Structure 1
Amino acid sequence: MQENLQKRAQLEKSRRWILAGTAAAIIIALLITIAILDSQLDAAAQRSDQVLLSITQELQSELVFALRSYDGIYSTGADVDGSILPTVRQHLNTATALNNILTNGFGSAYSVFTQDLYNRLEHFYSEYELARSANRSTDTAMELLDSCMRDIENIVLTRFEADGRVIL
């Protein structure tokens, strides 16, 4: 009987060691999993930062290209309808798309355009086309574009850091 009690005590002791070992193995596995997930989160955050920087740099470039294209608009012999305005529009459309990606992906704080600027640009395009189709002067529409481009220049100068990051 005493032998049975000793075997039972030994079995109980072995079972406790097995449970303790299993618990330790589970804890170690959880710690390893947490470490792996943490490193993956860090890598994902770094990739997200790289994507954000790429988008903001491209947005800044598109705005600068639009401004450079616009610079020659009042030069003698400038091809306003055939070259300058389509090029400006292309760069502004690309900038608008990039701005929308930033806003949708990273939040409204990253938007460099205001709704007012969007609206005024759209108003310019419709006014300009209307004036051209009616053979009227485009001066009023061009004044609106001048105002928009000044605002865009201000955006480039005040909303971007030297490396292209958006200043929040």
Structure 2
Amino acid sequence: MKTTNKKEQQVRLPELTEKLIKKDKQYASMSKRFQILYWIFLPVFLIIIIVEIINGIPLKDIIGNVFFLLAILNSALLFRFYYKAYNTVDYSQPTLLMLKKAVARYQPLQLRTLWTLLGIGFVDLGLVFNSSLGFDLIRVQMAFLALVVVSMGIGLVIWWVSYKPLRDAARAMIREIEGE
């Protein structure tokens, strides 16, 4: 087990905190941009659905579009939550608490990720019900599943490169503090 003295720990803590602040600001900024985008898409898509209802498209297609609308709403709310979570991080908390919250924030799979799965489910249901797309259901499901898996893989690679080092550094510092 590697031991570090308080001076080394104090030098590393400001560097880690600075990196956490930078990443939190980047994530909050990205979440805000996506949130705005989804809030713009929401009324536009609602208008499209209303026009399609007036034009008498089949009920199945309307149901599919409502599921797409729910996916957009879910995404807008999810990015709103992430924006608030990352924009309001309190770095003045006790060091150990701040580090533990940073570790929790930068876990790749979290309970709140289930809301993302709900949005993915809404998109999938939208694809299933929307026959106006003209695709074979089995092919659509296979392609959609492949797209979700590839997207998750890309997300994990991004996490591995950008966020895992921060989480690991915070974990190591927690072990050092609790080990004293």
TM bucket by the smaller chain? 0.3 to 0.5
TM-score (norm 1): 0.36
